Amino acid sequence: MAVDAFDFTGKTVLVTGGSRGLGRAMTIGFAERGADVVIVSRKLDACEAVAAEVRALGRRALPVAAHVGKWDDLDALVDAAYGAFGRVDVLINNAGLSPLAPSMIEVSEALFDKVVEVNFKGPFRLAVLVGARMAAGDGGSIINVSSIGSLMPSPYFGPYAGAKSALNAVSIALAREYAPKVRVNVICPGGFLTDVAADWQDDADALNGVMLGRFARPDEILSTAFYLASPASSFTTGALIRVDGGCLTVK
């Protein structure tokens, strides 16, 4: 009988930004395939709402309120996750933030620091905290969610592109640090129709730069996340996978 490579029964998956958008899609998707999940965002009530959906699927869920850019919050998050489940098999650094300024010269120091904090500083620290435990234990998979914008930077979101590019780079360093027991890979999504897509989802010019001629449904991230989290990608680490519909340009 064939083995389902995407069966995560008995595994614990930690998803930051797990209460909305792509994070919620991955949280529910992994739970539907047997995983217990740690759901992280700044708003506990939002995490608890998704946790209720997970429990309705017969899986365990731990909702945790944490600011991923604050290292003290991440220390407490990791302690809570390991205290509840004893292990983290898959870490998905999905939380992100992309506030915009009218022009590059108008980017304030506070905005710049905020973008770097959430998109690079926090994911780096959480990957280190969990990766070190994975390497000392049974191993695992770390998936860092970047952006197609990191590969096609625009003045429109310059600091965000820079922070995500830094995440791409440090992911390779993390893959080398924690090999061979821990694999670290990057997903670069393009335009997904989540709750933050209102500003561009009807932009015909933006679609002209996408080979497939449409934006993606949130569930279309799942097959790539499942692949990188599972033994199906056992010889894949330090890789960057674009899930962008064949993006040619970013405004």
> What is the pLDDT, as a whole number, of residue 205?
78
Is a pLDDT exceeding 90 seen at residue 229? yes
- In this prediction, what percent of the chain has a pLDDT beyond 70? 97
Tell me, yes or no, whether 72 lies in a domain: yes
Tell me, yes or no, whether 4 lies in a domain: no
Residue 1 confidence class, pLDDT cut points 50, 70, 90:
very low
Tell me, yes or no, whether 128 lies in a domain: yes
CATH number of the domain where residue 21 is located? 3.40.50.720
Tell me, yes or no, whether 1 lies in a domain: no
In tens, the pLDDT along 42-72 reads 999 999 999 999 999 999 999 999 999 999 9
Mean pLDDT value across residues 77-94: 98
Beta 36-41 vs 140-145: how paired, if at all? unpaired
Closest to 155 (Cα-Cα) out of 78, 97, 101:
101
> What is the pLDDT, as a whole number, of residue 195?
81
Domain of 99?
Answer: 12-243
Tell me, yes or no, whether 163 lies in a domain: yes
Tell me, yes or no, whether 31 lies in a domain: yes
Tell me, yes or no, whether 3 lies in a domain: no
Catalytically annotated residue among 82, 160, 178, 227:
160
Q: Tell me if residue 160 is catalytic.
A: yes
Mean pLDDT value across residues 234-243: 98
> What is the pLDDT, as a whole number, of residue 250?
83
Q: What is the 3-state secondary structure (H, E, C) of the chain?
A: CCCCCCCCCCCEEEEECCCCHHHHHHHHHHHHCCCEEEEEECCHHHHHHHHHHHHHCCCCEEEEECCCCCHHHHHHHHHHHHHHHCCCCEEEECCCCCCCCCCHHHCCHHHHHHHHHHHHHHHHHHHHHHHHHHHHCCCEEEEEECCHHHCCCCHHHHHHHHHHHHHHHHHHHHHHHHCCCEEEEEEEECCECCCCCCCCCCCHHHHCCECCCCCECHHHHHHHHHHHHCHHHCCCCCCEEEECCCECCCC
Read off the tokens for 105: 């010269």
In tens, the pLDDT along 138-163 reads 999 999 999 999 999 988 899 999 99
Number of domains within the chain: 1
Is a pLDDT exceeding 70 seen at residue 200? no
